């Protein structure tokens, strides 16, 4: 066809647009270039594949902590001697110190999840996948899951111990007499002052019971979660479905609480203790703390605050495991 009396190609040949573009009529006779489509099945980078269980583990724990933090605050106060039930203690904290007091130590709690949970869930995944490869892809026996949980919990607790100590110190500070309060401004201030006053080793005070407690908790949590999901799926429920995920998470939450509370009680006492008037510490270590508690207060003392502890630990476990299952499903359509 023609444009203003010229053929279309001649019109283009002399048009300013052609001169600017630097093209000739031959350009328009070329076959269209093939546009290479991005494959929807492209694999994510190897670095992300290796980091994924660690990143998702940390994110899952941090999201769960934002939900559970007020319950954790009440649990610590009860263990440190607050009178009344969980609801009464929580109400008293909110009334006398403000609603924000229920979230005191949240920054340290998030830091703890970023270190402790990132490590423990990532390490558990790595160990489990390695063991599964050695078992020719078959499901692991319960004892191997328990070993993986114990190992992951111990390594994670060692990495997260400084943040855990900071969290306990910040939550317990307002329970001390006014002259003994440290009045930390935040997690950074707490870290600096602990190092300044107690040295770097002070960040690891109570690390031994923290590691033992984490090993028991993660054995109960991770091993039982995998085992329960496999049993639920074997009963005919959808693999990876909501029944298996939630059922395994609830069972894991209860067993994690039951296994770990005595160790958590000892850990909290050691991390909270302050020197006696003569300068000596109340306890020489975790064993001495356990012996003195058993002798002076009886075995049930180790389960002080169990309802609150279970209410706090079980939901945190449930939320963490559900988020851990959900995140890969959300990432898959995005190519991650």
pLDDT per position as a tens digit, 292-315: 999 999 999 998 888 878 877 899
Q: How far is CA 178 from the centre of its chain?
A: 33
Here the tokens at position 185 are: 């401004």
The answer to whether 167 touches 190, Cβ cutoff 8 Å, is no
**Residue 2 bridge partners (DSSP):** 7
Mean pLDDT estimate for the chain: 83
Half-sphere exposure of 308 (CA within 13 A, CB side): 24
The CATH number that applies at residue 309 is 1.50.40.10
Q: Say yes or no: 250 and 321 in one domain.
A: yes
pLDDT confidence band for 36 (50 / 70 / 90)? low
Residue 148 belongs to domain spanning: 51-331
> Alpha carbon of 65 to those of 148, 190, 203, 251, 256: distances in Å?
23, 20, 21, 19, 16
Question: Phi and psi for 227 in degrees, rounded to 5?
Answer: -65, -45
Question: Phi and psi for 197 in degrees, rounded to 5?
Answer: -85, -35
In this predicted structure, what is the pLDDT of residue 3? 46
* pLDDT average, residue stretch 131-141: 91
Q: Say yes or no: 222 and 275 in one domain.
A: yes
Q: Say yes or no: 81 and 25 in one domain.
A: no
pLDDT confidence band for 33 (50 / 70 / 90)? low
How many distinct structural domains can be found in the chain? Answer: 2
Q: Say yes or no: 196 and 297 in one domain.
A: yes
45: in domain: no
């Amino acid at each position: 066809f023609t444009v203003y009396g010229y053929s279309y190609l001649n019109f283009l040949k002399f048009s300013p647009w052609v001169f600017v573009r630097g093209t000739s009529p031959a350009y328009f006779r070329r076959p269209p270039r093939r546009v290479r489509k991005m494959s929807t099945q492209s694999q994510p980078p190897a670095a992300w594949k290796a980091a994924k269980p660690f990143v998702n583990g940390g994110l899952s724990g941090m999201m769960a902590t934002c939900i559970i933090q007020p319950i954790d605050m009440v649990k610590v106060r009860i263990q440190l001697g607050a009178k009344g039930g969980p609801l009464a203690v929580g109400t008293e904290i909110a009334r006398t110190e403000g609603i924000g007091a229920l979230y005191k130590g949240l920054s340290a709690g998030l830091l703890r999840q970023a270190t402790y949970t990132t490590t423990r869930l990532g390490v558990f995944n790595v160990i489990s996948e390695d063991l599964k490869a050695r078992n020719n892809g078959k499901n692991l026996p319960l004892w191997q899951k328990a070993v993986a949980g114990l190992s992951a919990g111990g390594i994670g607790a060692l990495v997260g111990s400084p943040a855990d100590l900071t969290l306990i110190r910040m939550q317990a500070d307002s329970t001390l007499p006014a002259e003994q309060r440290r009045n930390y401004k935040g997690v950074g201030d707490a870290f600096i002052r602990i190092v300044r006053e107690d040295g770097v080793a002070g960040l690891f005070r109570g690390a031994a019971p923290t590691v033992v407690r984490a090993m028991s908790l993660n054995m109960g949590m991770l091993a039982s979660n995998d085992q329960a999901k496999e049993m639920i799926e074997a009963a005919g429920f959808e693999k990876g479905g909501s029944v298996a995920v939630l059922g395994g998470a609830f069972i894991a939450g209860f067993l994690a609480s039951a296994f770990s509370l005595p160790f958590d009680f000892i850990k909290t006492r050691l991390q909270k203790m302050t020197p006696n008037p003569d300068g000596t510490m109340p306890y020489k270590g975790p064993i001495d703390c356990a012996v003195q508690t058993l002798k002076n207060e009886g075995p049930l003392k180790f389960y002080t605050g169990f309802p609150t502890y279970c209410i706090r630990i079980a939901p945190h476990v449930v939320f963490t495991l559900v988020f851990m299952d959900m995140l890969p499903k959300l990432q898959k359509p995005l190519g991650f």
